[in-house]
Amino acid sequence: MRLENKVIIVTGSTTGIGKAIALRCAQEGARIVLHGLEEEWGLEVLDILGPEKAVLHIEDISAEGAAERLVTVAITKFGQLDAVVNNAALVASSNIQTTDTKYFERILAINTIAPFNLIKSALPYLEMQHGAVLNIGSVNAYSGEPNLLAYSVSKGALMTLTRNLGDTLFRENGVRVNQINPGWVLTETEIRRKKEHGLADDWYAELPSVYAPAGRILKPAEIAAAAVYWLADESGPVSGQVVDLEQYPFIGRNPPKDSSTIQTKNNQ
């Protein structure tokens, strides 16, 4: 197994991409610190993995001291920490008219500053294990959709954080830092959101080819499969890298006006 005996914190792992990563890492032999806001969903994931393989911590990742508490849970339960997956994020629509300072600060606190705090808190333990950090970003980091301004900026900042720490932490601490930028992913949250927007229950069955040349969008399990490589020792000395997981070049793709009813979003 590719992650045997490793202990991994996966933030935002009660649902969506984070849940898929947690389940796949456990299949590969890792012990998991689950995290999220939804205790009921988290307990369901914990029940799947079992108390010997996982522990659950429910808290807003942007709360003061949350990073330290999450690391403490890992060390108390399992005695070591080998990797951190910064997946928790707030995906919220906004543009320049609807984004005020307070709103912007909230998005940045969750999507950018919280990952930084968790990396910093985990660093002494990751250094002991020659561990790894995997940040889950978004293809929106490169410019973003018109109505994802604050979210896109926060993911752009996360990408710079990955590049910066991927260099310095590997050379100085032996800790690798890399990032996956998913495109449009069919999470539970995304299915529900589109239905709330008035789309059919099976809206994802027929998508404009401009968004889904393959005829479908990504599955959380496909992001999780890629995550294992970056968390495993087999990725060797590779650090500071950002990999886009999407089925078409995001930049320069101009969707036709008649497909504007479908808005792509990276959901975690």
Enzyme catalytic residues: 151
- The DSSP line for 71-120 is HHHHHHHHS---EEEE-------B-TTT--HHHHHHHHIIIIIHHHHHHH
94 bridge partner residues? 148
- Cα angle value 125/131/137 (rounded, 5°): 110
Cα–Cα distance, 32 to 233 (Å, whole number): 17
- Cα angle value 214/218/221 (rounded, 5°): 135
Cα–Cα distance, 156 to 146 (Å, whole number): 15
Q: Which residues of 106-135 are buried (b: 16+ CB within 10 A; e: fewer)?
A: ebbbbbbbbbbbbbebbbebbeeeebbbbb
Provide the 3-class DSSP secondary structure of residue 143. coil
Q: For tokens 């000395």, what's the residue?
A: 237
Tokens matching residue 146 = 């018109």
Tokens matching residue 125 = 């333990």
Give the burial class of 255: count Cβ atoms within 10 A of its Cβ; 0-12 exposed, 13-18 middle, 19 or more buried.
middle
DSSP state of 191: H
